Amino acid sequence: MLKERRQAAETVAEALFAAEKAIDAAIASTATLAALMPHSRQAANLSAIVGQDALMSAINTMQALGVAREGIVTTHKHLTVAQHDIGLARVSFGDMAEKPGSPGPSGHLTVAA
């Protein structure tokens, strides 16, 4: 039973990490686009009116992607609770750094000198 729970958790973790990575990539790409538009307009010596709607659309997309990122982070937090609920609290998925606010590697709080 533990083996099946661990496999299911690994499958979900892989999908979660892929979703987080995709959202971050979309944010980075959209930010590059939003930064490029004013520079390109200025380099072409065009009026500020040119492309204003496109720039605002890119900015709105950035805001929506920020909301999406907040949602996937919340999903991650809920899955961490589920991981604990199914008895896999001490299992690490992925090779990422520790989450902010998580206890040290032993799972116990340590005293700082």
Tens digit of each residue's pLDDT (9 = 90 or more) over 31-72: 999 999 999 999 999 999 999 999 999 999 999 999 999 999
Say what the pTM is.
0.78
Residue 9 to residue 70: CA distance in whole angstroms:
21
Structure tokens at 60: 């709105």
Q: Where are the domains of the chain?
A: 1-86
pLDDT tens digits for range 67-91? 999 999 999 999 999 999 988 877 7
Q: What are phi and psi of 45, to 5 degrees?
A: 60, 50
**Residue of 100 and 60 predicted with greater confidence:** 60
Which CA distances in Å does 113 have to 1, 31, 106, 110?
A: 42, 42, 18, 10
